[in-house]
Structure 1
C-alpha cells in the first residue's frame, strides 16, 4: 500500500512540477475574481445576491476547470509514450495496472483541487461582495428547484454534480490518451464532448430516435432530478446512474486492457 501511495505521489509531483499547472490554477483564480468584479459593477443596475453570483460564476468557470483537467488527463499517458519515459516506468517493480491507476487517481485529485479552489473562491469572495440571502426563494427562483433545502445545500449538491461530470470527462480523455497515445486527439475529442455533446444529443433526442435514450451525455446531469426536471418522463435518477455506470466501466476496462496489452519494446 505504501509503495502505491509513493507511486501516486510521484505522479502528483509530475503534474505540479510543470509551470503550465500553476498557470492553470492562477487562471482559475483570476477568472473568478474578474467575474465577481464584473458582477459587482453590474449590481449597480441589477440586484445580485451572493448565491446567485456563485451559481452563475460556477456555470462559467467550470468550463475552464474541465478544460484544464482534460489537458492534464490527455497528457498523462500519451506524453509517457511520446517521450519514451514509459519504458522507465515499466522496468520498475510496479505492475502496469498500478501505474495506470496512480495516474488516474492523480488526475482526479487535480480536478478535485481545481473544484475546491473554485468553490472556496466563488463562495468566499461573493460572500464579501454581495448580500447574503438564505431564503427559500433563492432556491426556487434562481436555481429552479422545488426542494426544501437551503441555498448552501443546493450549491454543495450542484458542485458534487459538476465533479461527477468532470470524472467522466477525465475518464474519456484518459482512455483516448492511453488507447491512441495522442494527447491532441484526446483534448480535441474531450472539448467536442464538453461543448457539443449535450447539444447534439438533445437535437437527436428531439427527432425521436429511441436509441438516443442510451447516449451518455443525456445522463451526466444528475441535478435535473433534484430540480424534478428530467428530459423524459421515463428517465429516473437510477436509470441515469445505471447508464453513467455502464459507460464508466466500459471506458475504464478499455483503458486497462489496451494499456496492459500494449507492446512498448519498440
Structure 2
C-alpha cells in the first residue's frame, strides 16, 4: 500500500497544475492580508469604556430576536467580565477570516479527485496499474487516501500561510481567548483550539464533495463531469436547500443541509428539528453510499470498455 501511495503522490506533484494550485492559495492569502492591511482595517470603539455602552444598546435592539441569543450572550459576558472587543485586528482575526478560503481548497481538491481515476482511463495508463499483482480495491483505496492527504496538505498550507502573513501584517496585539456559546452559556476557549475546530468543521464540506467527485470519476470515468457536478453542488447547495426547505421538511435529509456543522456551534440549525447527531449520521450515510458506488464501479467494470 505504501508503494501505491508514494506512486500516486509522485504523479500529483509531477503535474505543473499542482504547483499552480499551491501558488494560487498562497497568493490568495497574501493578497487578502495586503488588502486588509492597507485598505480595510476594522475600526473599534473599545477605548474609554465606550464599548460597554455600544454592546448594551445592541443587546436592547436584539432582545426579541431568538437568532441573536449567542451574540447577546457574548456581549453580556464581555460587559460582566470587563472584556472589551478586540481594539486591534491581529493574526488570530486574520486566521479566522481565512477559514472561508477552505472553499477554494475544496475546489482544488475536487479537481485532483476528479482526475485521479478518470485521467488514468483517458491516458490508458490504468492498464499498467491493473496488470500488477495488486487487487483493484487496494489501487482505488490508495488513490482515495492520496486525495485526502492532498486535501490535508493544502489545508496545512492555508493554515500556516495565514499564520505567517497574519503575523507579519497584523501581529499579536490584542490577543484574547475565544468566547464560545455552549449550551446556552459563554465559555472561554483557547484561540488555537477554536481555529482547529473551525478548520475541521469547514473541512467537512471539502471531504463530502471531494468524495462525490471521486465517486463520479470512478463510476463514469469522466473528470469534466465529476468536476462540474461537484463544484455545482458545492456552490449551490445552500441555495437548493433553502428553496426546498421553505416548502418541504424532507429537505433536512439532503446532503447540503447537513454539511455545515458549524451551524450547531453557532446556536441554530438551517432547518428546524435538525441536530448535530442527525447531521453526522446523514453525512455518514452519504459517505458510505459514495464509497460503495465508487468501489463497485471500479472493481466490476471492464477496463477495455
- Report if TM-score (shorter chain) is over 0.5: yes
- Once residues 233 and 128 of structure 1 are traced to their aligned partners in structure 2, the CA distance between those partners, rounded to angstroms, is 43
- Once residues 25 and 92 of structure 1 are traced to their aligned partners in structure 2, the CA distance between those partners, rounded to angstroms, is 32
Aligned residues: 257
Q: Tell me the equivalent position of 2:229.
A: 189
Q: Which runs of 5+ in 2 are unaligned?
A: 44-87
Q: Tell me the equivalent position of 2:288.
A: 249
Q: Work out which of the residue numbers 108, 127, 130 in structure 2 matches 1:87.
A: 127
Q: Tell me the equivalent position of 1:262.
A: 301
The answer to whether the aligner puts 1:202 opposite 2:199 as a matched pair is: no
- Once residues 268 and 42 of structure 2 are traced to their aligned partners in structure 1, the CA distance between those partners, rounded to angstroms, is 31
Report the Cα offset of residue 147 of structure 1: 4.3
Which shifted more, 157-166 or 253-262? Answer: 157-166
Q: Is the 8 A contact 1:175 1:254 kept in 2?
A: yes
Q: Work out which of the residue numbers 3, 15, 22 in structure 2 matches 1:25.
A: 22
SS of match in other structure, 2:134? coil
CA pair 122-179 structure 1, distance change in 2 beyond 3 A:
same
Q: Tell me the equivalent position of 1:37.
A: 34
Q: Tell me the equivalent position of 1:215.
A: 254
SS of match in other structure, 1:218? helix
Report the Cα offset of residue 165 of structure 1: 1.7
- Bigger Cα Rg: 2
SS of match in other structure, 1:228? coil
The answer to whether the aligner puts 1:54 opposite 2:95 as a matched pair is: yes
User: After the TM superposition, which residues 1-266 of structure 1 pair with which residues of structure 2 at under 5 Å, given as runs?
Assistant: 4-44=1-41, 46=43, 48-59=89-100, 61-132=101-172, 133-136=174-177, 139=179, 146-207=186-247, 209-266=248-305
CA deviation string 1:54-75 (max 9, x = no partner): 222321x222211111111000
What TM-score do you get using the length of structure 2 for normalisation? 0.80
- Once residues 139 and 22 of structure 1 are traced to their aligned partners in structure 2, the CA distance between those partners, rounded to angstroms, is 38
RMSD of Structure 2 on Structure 1 (CA): 1.8
What TM-score do you get using the length of structure 1 for normalisation? 0.91
Report the Cα offset of residue 107 of structure 1: 0.7
